[in-house]
Amino acid sequence: MRLVRLSVTSIVACLMGFVALLLVGLHSMSEMQEKQAEIKALMALHHRIGEFSVASDALLVNRAAPALRESYRAEATSLKQTLAALAEAHPAARRAIHYVDFLVGTLSVVYEQPNGLPEESEARRQADSPLLLPQRSQAIISQVAGYGIELDAAIREVTSQRQAQIARDANWIAAGFAGAAALFGLFCIVAFGLIFRRINGPLRALSWAARRVEAGEHDVRVPIAGSDEFAELSRTFNRMLDQQDAMVETLSDALATRRALIDSLPAHIALLDGDGKILDVNDQWRHYGTINGYRGKALGVGSNYLSICRASEGSSAEEAFEVADGLQAVLQGERDAFALEYPCHSPDQRRWFRLMASRLAPDLETEGMLGAVVMHVDITERKLAEKELKRQAYRDPLTGLANRLGFTDAFSKHIARQGWNPHDILALLDIREMRNVNDAHGYDVGDQLLIEMARRLEHHFSDDTLVGRITGDQFILLLPGEDFASPRECLDQLADMFHRPIRLSELVIELAARGGYTLLGEEERSPETLLHEVEIALHETRRHDNSEFCRYDREMDRLAQQRIDLTRDLRRALEDDQFELHYQPKVDLTTGDVIGCEALIRWMHPERGMQMPGQFIPVAEQSQLIGPIGDWVLFQACRHLREWREAGLDLVRVSVNVSVDQFRSGGFTRKVREALEVHAIDPASLTLEITESVFSEESATLRQQLDDLHALGVRLSLDDFGTGYSSLLYLQQYPFDEIKIDMGFVRGILDEPLNRNIVAMILGISQVMGADTVAEGVETTAVRDVLLELGCRIGQGYYYSMPLEVEDFRWLLEKKSRLPLMPPPPGTS
């Protein structure tokens, strides 16, 4: 039976019992009241009988009026009736009835006799003394008195009998009520005992199980009996324990996995409490402690990490204090984490560790500090790799000298060690012939040469000299000023190093160097600034090409900055299509017919207006921008040529100026072929004008490219002939179709006989080579006439036309008129 039902049933039964008890009580009370009333009635009867006896006596003594005797008889009847109700149970009541009857009868007899007592009574009443009554009357009176006494005795007996009976009844009523109450109490005890038994057993079992579980016993289960709520509760409790067991198992599995994971981590891990006390450590920590001979079984567990750090001495003390401070900050919640890399070298092994301390429960909701995890990760491999990388990053792998980064680093260390010396010299040198050596003998020889040069530089100068190789053929040196009488002597020694021939097995290679240098001076600068200075100085040396060493000054810097700005602007100009081609006619000097034209680039600068090539082509050449600019010129010129041809204009050739630098990348021939194909141009219609400087870069690849272009059918023109490097040897070797006499000779042709002879000589060479000759800078008819006289047939110059915008030049072609268009102004001949 379910406990609730049992409890409800018990309570209902108890209530019913209680009601029954109440009813019994009420009944008993009414019974008692009845008994009380009966006793009262008995007492009243007793009193009435006493009265009746007295009245009997009175009636006997004094003659009573008939009315009085009538009420006496009525009272007697009433008494008899009352006594008759008692007569059945009490014989004394029957006796009392008889005595009443005797009394009434005696009185009736007395009153019916004519000489009866009444006269005597009257006489006695008048005499006022019964003792004076006659003898018979005395006997009757005694008889009546005797009856009265008997009646009284009878009624007393009835009363006492009745009272005893009532007392017995009352006892029975009380006993009945007490019995009912006892029965009710017993029932209640039994019911609640039953309930208690049903509750107490399972409850005790449950609390016992709970205590066992609390004590850590997990295999405890509550025995289940019946199917009441406690059975259900016990089942649930057992299920909970089962689930808890499963959870504990899962948790312990997870913990074991985590523990295994933490133990297998390649880090020494310790868990600290909020005060820095070590609570637990992982296997790696123990292992490390064991193999390093740390004393104590606990390997630090239980000790205070902060105290250990603060007690450190010797070389590691500084880092240990730093760790203590950092860790304290973490433990106090001032920071979430702290990390430090530190060396921990053993006698036979160099080792580094990274310490990381992370705060546990870093969330702000957690009040106070729970602790921290400290991890030491062995970063030796990384450190060694870093060192190696640094070494590689700082070293030139070919020569073993410091590279750019290494040199700046060595420089900084040198200054830190020796201080800033204003007399020190920083020099940057490059080998002029390096490119030729590579071309002529191959890169292996070039490499050997660089290695040899590095050894030479290293060994020649004192130990205080820093030597590095910062790019292909550039060596940098920091030379102590004290080692030399003057900077000049220092530079001479340097140049001498490079000028001494280098012997590589069979080969003897002669070299020359050029360089830039800067004096450290009074103003301290960073190594990067100094490097920048010598690079600018070297650049200046290269630009002038007339001295071995340029010394840096600020003006160079300004110009260099200008070049940088210009380079940036040029790049933008290319993107924004700010270039234009102007065309200057090449004219038949005899007829004035336009037989070709030269494309000349112009830069329409948005702020500075039209910029001439001299203002930007050199910078474009230095910054590699000449490649894309030259390509643009090539394609643009071919496009215009195609447009003119499609328009039916009678133009044979277009000349395009090509910078030597455009040949360096090696793809120029392909570009030319592409431009010709894209615009379907006959290669013979395109002339490439290359200045004499091409020979300064004389190399096998350049020669190959020129041969390829020539084979393609493109005409090659040697521009500004006579100004530079040309030697007859070169002319013979290169396939030029045209030679342009530099305008310097042409303009001086009238005044300087030498110029006239030079022009004549050039015309002769061209003739021998089978090349056309074009005279540049024809500005007057007089010059034209002399040129014609010398046998020059083609010219170009302001006399005929300025370089024209493309629309104007097209107009000129359409007009098909001879040049010059206008007769020369008077006085120009």
Task: Give residues in contact with ligand C2E (CB under 6 A).
Answer: 584, 600-601, 612-614, 617, 630, 633, 657-659, 689, 691, 719-720, 743, 776-777, 779, 796-798, 803
Q: CA-based Rg of the chain, rounded to a whole angstrom?
A: 73
Q: Residue 90, class by beta-carbon neighbours within 10 Å (0-12 exposed, 13-18 middle, 19+ buried)?
A: buried
Give, in order, the Cα–Cα distances in Å from 580 to each of 113, 633, 634, 806, 809.
191, 9, 12, 9, 13
Which lies closer to Mg ion via its Cβ, residue 631 or residue 720? Answer: 720
Contacts 24+ apart (CB under 8 A), 247-255: 248/218
- Nearer to Mg ion among residue 226 and residue 613 (C-beta): 613
3-state secondary structure at position 174: helix
Residues in contact with 69: Cβ distance below 8 Å, sequence separation at least 6, in sequence order: 59, 107, 111
Contact 338, 276 (CB under 8 A): no
Task: Convert residues 745-784 into a mask of x (bound to Mg ion by CB under 5 A) and - (unbound).
Answer: -------------------------------x--------
Query: Three-class SS string for 689-718?
Result: EEEHHHHHHCCHHHHHHHHHHHHHCCEEEE
- Smallest separation (angstroms) from ligand C2E to the CB of 612: 4
Compare residues 356 and 617 and give the one whose CB is closer to ligand C2E.
Answer: 617
- Of 399 and 657, the one with the shorter C-beta distance to Mg ion is 657
Instruction: Pick the closer one to ligand C2E by CB: 63 or 679.
Output: 679
Instruction: Kindly state the smallest distance separating residue 597's Cβ from ligand C2E, in Å.
Output: 11
Minimum Å gap between C-beta 585 and ligand C2E is: 10
Question: Among Mg ion, ligand C2E, none, what binds residue 601 when CB lies within 5 to 8 Å by partner kind?
Answer: ligand C2E
Distance CA 355, CA 81 (A): 125
> Bridge-partner residues for 356, per DSSP?
339, 375
In the DSSP assignment, the letter for residue 804 is: B
Residue 151 vs 633, nearer CB to Mg ion: 633
Choice between 155 and 581, CB closer to ligand C2E: 581
In the complex, minimum distance from the CB of residue 797 to ligand C2E, in angstroms, rounded to a whole number:
3
Least distance to ligand C2E, CB of residue 553, Å: 29
The residue (of 443 and 798) whose beta carbon lies closer to ligand C2E is: 798
Structure tokens given for 628: 């894309």
Report the residue number, 520 or 587, with the smaller CB distance to ligand C2E.
587
Cβ pair 48, 154 in contact under 8 A: no
Interacting residue with Mg ion among 535, 569, 692, 719 (CB under 5 A): 719
Query: For 406, phi and psi rounded to 5 degrees?
Result: -65, -35
Strand partners of residue 319: none
Where are the alpha helices (H) located in 269-379, listed in sequence order? Answer: 283-291, 305-310, 317-331
Distance in Å, CB of 707 to Mg ion, minimum: 21
Task: From the list ligand C2E, Mg ion, none, pick the one residue 157 interacts with, judged by a Cβ distance below 5 to 8 Å according to partner type.
Answer: none
Rule CB under 5 A: is residue 689 a binding residue for Mg ion?
yes
Contacting Mg ion (CB under 5 A), which of 319, 473, 631, 720?
A: 720
Task: Report the alpha-carbon distance of residue 599 to residue 606 in Å, rounded.
Answer: 22
Q: Which of 411, 438, 617, 615 is nearest to 532 (CA)?
A: 411
Binding-site partner at residue 406 among Mg ion, ligand C2E, none, CB < 5 to 8 Å by type: none
* Binding site partner of 144, from ligand C2E, Mg ion, none, Cβ cut-off 5-8 A by kind: none
Task: Decide whether 342 or 635 has the Cβ nearer to ligand C2E.
Answer: 635
Tell the smallest beta-carbon distance from residue 789 to ligand C2E (Å). Answer: 19
**Whole-angstrom distance, CA of residue 101 vs CA of residue 56:** 11
- Least distance (Å) between residue 787 CB and Mg ion: 15
Q: Which does 613 bind (CB under 5 to 8 A by kind): Mg ion, ligand C2E, none?
A: ligand C2E
| 411 in Cβ contact with 466 (< 8 Å) | yes
629-688: contacts with Mg ion (CB under 5 A):
657
Interface size with Mg ion, residues (CB under 5 A): 5
Q: How far is the CB of 476 from ligand C2E (least distance, A)?
A: 32
* Torsion sign over Cα 328, 333, 335, 340: positive
Nearer to Mg ion, 191 or 633 (CB): 633
Tokens 């009074």 sit on residue:
522
Query: Least distance in Å: CB of 598 to Mg ion?
Result: 5
Instruction: Describe the chain by its helix, strand, coil percentages, rounded to 5.
Output: 60, 15, 25
State the binding partner of 61 from Mg ion, ligand C2E, none, CB within 5 to 8 A by kind. Answer: none
Q: How far is the CB of 719 from ligand C2E (least distance, A)?
A: 5
* Rounded Cα gap, residues 203 and 766, in angstroms: 128
- Using the rule CB under 5 A, give the single segment among 29-37, 160-168, 290-298, 719-727 that binds Mg ion: 719-727
* 3 state DSSP class of 497: helix
3-state secondary structure of 342: strand
Q: Which does 396 bind (CB under 5 to 8 A by kind): ligand C2E, Mg ion, none?
A: none
Residue 803 beta carbon to ligand C2E: minimum distance, rounded to whole angstroms: 5
Q: With respect to Mg ion, which residue has the nearer C-beta, 636 or 657? A: 657
Where do contacts with Mg ion occur on this chain (CB under 5 A)? 657, 689, 719-720, 776
